[in-house]
Amino acid sequence: MTRAVITGAGAVSAFGVGVPALFDGLAHGRTCIAPIRSFDASAFDTRVACEVAGAGIGRGWLRDHLGHLGGAEAVLDRYERAGAWRDRKCMFALLAAVEAWRMAGCGPGDDEASLVMALGLEQAFLDDFGPMFSGQEIDWSIGGHTGIRFRSDVDLGARLVGDVLGLYGPAIVNASACAAGGLAIAHAASLIERGAASIVLCGGADSMVNPFGLGGMSRLGAPSPRNDSDACRPFDLRRDGLAIGEGAAMLIVESEQRAASRGARVLARVLGYGSTQDAYRVTAPRPDGAAARRAMELALARARLSPKEIGYINAHGTGTLLNDVAEARAIAAVFGPGAVPVGSVKGAIGHLMAASGAIEAAACLLPFDRNLLPGTANHRDPDPQCEVDVIGAPRAASVDAVLSNSFGFGGQNVSLILGRPA
C-alpha cells in the first residue's frame, strides 16, 4: 500500500498566524480564552472566546500576512468583489494553505494537486444573522430580511485557496460538523493510498465568533457560562462547557514516494484512520462511547498497531459534561484506564468546530517536532468518572505514534493516527 506522509502544515489560531505560534503557545501551556473584542457580546451570558487577534481583519490584514505571492493580487481582487473577505474563515483558510504550501516546498501551481477541505456553514455569511440575536434570544422576524445573504457556492473558501495556489485537481468540501477537519485529512490519506492522487492539500477553517455563532451555541447550552480564562476545563471535575475558537489548519499530504523523489522533509506519517457514527442524538454522544471506541479500533487496525504502541492521545475533549465522560469511557475501553497520556488543546485555543480536527492534527505534530506532548490548559481537578491519564501541563516525551479524536454533532466520529517520520 502507498503510504501517505505530511510534508507541510499551516495554522491560524488564537495564538497567532503560523505553526510556530501554535507550537509555542502549546509548549508554554497558555490559554487564549479572553473577552470577545470583535463584536459587542455584552447581551450574551457567555462573553469570552478564543479569537484570532487583529483589530482590522480584512484585505489589508490578509495581504500583510501573505507577503508576496505572485499572481495572487488579481485573484484577491476578484474574491473581494464577491464579498469573501467578510467571512473570516476564508482568510484563515488561505493563510494556512499558503503556509503549508510553502513549508512543503511546493511550486506555483500543480496540475496533480487535489484539495480536500472542511468549511463550517459555508453557505452563509454568519455576521449577517447578527441582528436576529439580542443575547440568547432570537428575533425570527428578521430571518427573511433581504440583507441576509446565502451563498449557493458552498465551496467558496476552497475555490479561493485553489485559485490563489493554482490547484487544478479535484476539490472536495467536507461538512461533517466538528469531525469535518479530521475527516478531510482521512479522505486525503485515502486518496494517496489508493493512487487516486499523489499530493493533496487538506484541512479545515471555521469561525463561529460572531453573534449568530455565539447565540446558536448558547441556545444549545454548549459554552461555559464562566467569563474568565478558565472557561473551558476538559476532563475537569468542575467543567461546565466549551469555549468557542476560530482559525484554520491545512496540511500537505502526499505519497511517500513523491516526497522522497523531491527531497521533501517529512513531518509525520499518516498511519491510520477510522470513522463511525453514533446513530443516537444530534447534540449528545452515546453515553457508553461505543461508536467512538469503534473509530479508534478501526484506526488502530488500519495502522496495524496495538493500543500499547500509541504514545499520546489528543482527545476531542470539549469540556462539556457529557462528551468528556463518554470519550473517557471509549478511551479506557480501548487502551485501559490511565494507560496512555491524554490531552485536549481546547482549553488553550477553544473549539474550532469544523476546523478542530485539522488544527488538532497540526498540534499532534508537536510531539515529533519537539518531543513534547501538548497538555490540557485549565485541567486541575480530575473527574473520577473520566478514567484516563489527563496531563495538565505539557510533558516531555519521545513517542512514535499519536492518536487524535474528533467527534461532531450528529454523532460523527473520526480518529487519526500519525507516526513519527521514519
| Chain centroid offset of residue 335 CA | 24
Separation CA 199–CA 115 (nearest Å): 9
Q: Which of 65, 187, 232, 316 is catalytic?
A: 316
Beta bridge partners of 242: 223
Q: Are 130 and 211 in contact (CB under 8 A)?
A: yes
Cell digits for 28?
508554554
CA-nearest of 233, 251, 291 to 415 is 291
Q: Which of 178, 202, 232, 364 is catalytic?
A: 178
Beta bridge partners of 119: 205
Is 32 labeled as catalytic in the residue annotation? no
Is 351 labeled as catalytic in the residue annotation? yes
Q: Which of 351, 364, 379, 386 is catalytic?
A: 351
Cell digits for 25?
503557545
Separation CA 34–CA 18 (nearest Å): 20
Is 178 labeled as catalytic in the residue annotation? yes
Q: Which residues are catalytic?
A: 178, 316, 351
